[in-house]
Homo-oligomer: A and B are copies of this chain.
């Protein structure tokens, strides 16, 4: 129950950071969709630690394997099982400091929830590594959404207080692959890289903001009450580890606006209804309105830092000081962008199927 998302296109993830594997079951994908390991690998690679300043030095090979649901290069309608085997796992540090609660991590909450039975190594089930399952599922969802021309893109708009300036979608698309930070404002990206380098030397970490955009979204995805599209997307995005805020369109800025400023006027454009502005971020009344869905998520600075921090040893029940060793990203924002894309794709894929926009069997 607890590890499943979606109604018709459902994903159930499994695996732990230092266990044998991380995987996902996708149940509800239509039959006849051409799909191979490379389609999925491509997305998983986006999430890989880059050669950039921000990333961990843990080598994650992450070769995607298909265990079920694909036959002769197409989906069969059966549940799809995808996984990556864990390799290069070093649990020794975690064994040593097992009972010293890492600030900002789930060590304490998981210990309490599971009575200490949880796999604590590398954060176990609570590790950011688990998001590789979401990314694999997102790759399948993207393929599905491609059938109706719907595209999802996420890019870095802020790191450590440095903000990218707003750019047109085309420019974002073109630039986002030009640097490992996935930041389309190349000047800001340069400053972010310098800051990351500096903070790495301090043994500290940085947070930021990712913006997710979906274009060519049909009008009317979503439901009026508890399955509103914005509610579902917010739930999915806030479920990405380290995300502490989600906002659509004008977001928190609506608090300072008047209705006359915030309402997006309806206009006719080429004989079609559209809105002149997009303060709504593509969602009106819980339903997609045909404008690009624009959502921003706040990502907290990596909790694991090399600097010594005060904390508690839960076995000894005494206060101690802890420097988290191991290999960690200074800033996970660029890698998390791949997860934002994936969660948007998974959610939109589910709604598109529910709306009957994607057939249950391909022709």
Contact = CB atoms under 8 A, between A and B. Distances in A.
A346 to B, nearest CB: 10
A16 interface: yes
A109 B305 contact: no
Contacts of A341: none
A105 B27 contact: no
A146 interface: no
A327 to B, nearest CB: 15
Contacts of A227: 1-3, 239
A104 interface: yes
Interface string A183-222: 0000000000000000100101111110000000001101
7 contacts: A3-B227, A106-B284, A160-B258, A208-B255, A233-B238, A254-B300, A260-B305
Nearest to A21: B67
B209 A260 contact: no
Q: Which 10 A-B pairs have the closest CB atoms?
A: A106-B285, A235-B235, A2-B223, A113-B220, A245-B247, A231-B239, A205-B259, A109-B287, A234-B238, A103-B263
A42 interface: no
Interface string A91-128: 00000000001011110111011110111000111100
A71, A233, A249, A318: most-surrounded residue (chain B CB, <10 A)? A71
A356 interface: yes
A63 interface: no
Given A21-B67, A75-B117, A300-B250, A239 B286 contact: yes
A236 B228 CA distance: 9
B260 A2 contact: no
A281 B105 CA distance: 13
Contacts of A32: 114-115, 117
Nearest to A301: B259
A8 B354 contact: yes
Contacts of A165: none
A171 to B, nearest CB: 22
B14 A288 contact: no
A264 interface: yes
A265 B5 CA distance: 32
Interface in A319-359: 319, 354-356, 359
B15 A207 contact: no
A158 interface: yes
A19 B299 CA distance: 40
